[in-house]
Structure 1
């Protein structure tokens, strides 16, 4: 005779509860303006660090100098301008040459898509050539975390940590892909 676990309700209720809590938190929590400002500054520094390791990416961005790029998601907007050196600087401007708006509103769905390695759905407005260059950057420029880590702790230790991180990311992608109902949210077979 099979008995039902007293915790079987948790397997069904906890994912829904977590999604509801994440949605409520994201709509009610507003970090202070200075936190957002400093986070954006660090993000631009990180993007430039990654770009500096790719001369082709810098050359492509240099050709788009002084263009106004607005990246928008939910209530956040990041305004960037390519520099003549092929890097990005934070801008503050009205209007845009290219506006990329992430259309997914749910934080959990967006994070799940990114964990699977999918690109988020984006609405594109503006200059087609600039959009093609940004798409090329997204498709071809990657952060080599292992190389940066090797500068700090050495090649062997960095390789070991990077390999463990790749295995963890693979396990996370596999877990997210196997979640019930994932096919419906990603536009798979109905």
Structure 2
């Protein structure tokens, strides 16, 4: 008898639980969005080509949304990002189509990109796609500035090993069939 992974069952169970819809206060959402913009700009500043591409899209507004969460980003003339006002119409709307946090986490651990529905400016969408494909955060380099090269390298290596192990575990869990030996 073939059985599927328990993850879809657990996810369905979690969705059926009567959990209260907790809405964080507006100030906390705004602060989290500002911190995210700071992080994105920090990463963008390490890649001059990314900044040049964003500068060409100055004043263009991107709406990013998933479930009840959304925020608007605006390209600045400096080639960075800023939060756009809620009233500003979006030139590009990017919606994560997978509603399940568990599915998104599994896809991320497998190294896959989430499914996104894109509406709006084609050129802006192409630039955003280029950014996603080519810009990477060098966390080890940033960490080395704070704690030194050797500890940063060691922590980075440990994180890479953990991520690889999690990917392997998720791959095995997705194909798990109870009652069959995998030896």
TM-score of the alignment, normalized to the shorter chain, above 0.5: yes
Give me the CA root mean square deviation: 2.2
Deviations 1:12-70 (A, max 9, x none): 87984466337748773322222222111110110000001000000000000000111
Q: Report the CA distance between 1:162 and its aligned residue.
A: 0.3
Alignment deviations for residues 124-182 of structure 1 (CA, whole Å, 9 cap, x no partner): 10111110000000000011000000001111111111000000011111111221359
- Give the alignment partner of residue 99 of structure 2, picking from 105, 114, 120: 105
Within a 5 Å distance, the mapping from 1:17-166 to structure 2 comes to 17=10, 20-21=13-14, 24=17, 28-92=21-85, 93-166=87-160
Q: Give the TM-score normalised by structure 2.
A: 0.85
TM-score normalised per structure 1: 0.82
Pair 1:57–1:79, CA change in 2 (3 A): same
Q: Which has the higher contact order (CA 8 A, sep 6+)?
A: 2
More helix by share: 1
| Alignment equivalent of 2:161, drawn from 159, 164, 167 | 167
Q: List runs of 5+ in structure 1 lacking aligned partners.
A: 1-11, 183-190
Alignment partner of 1:162: what SS? helix
Unaligned runs of 5+ in 2: 177-183
- Number of aligned residue pairs: give it: 171
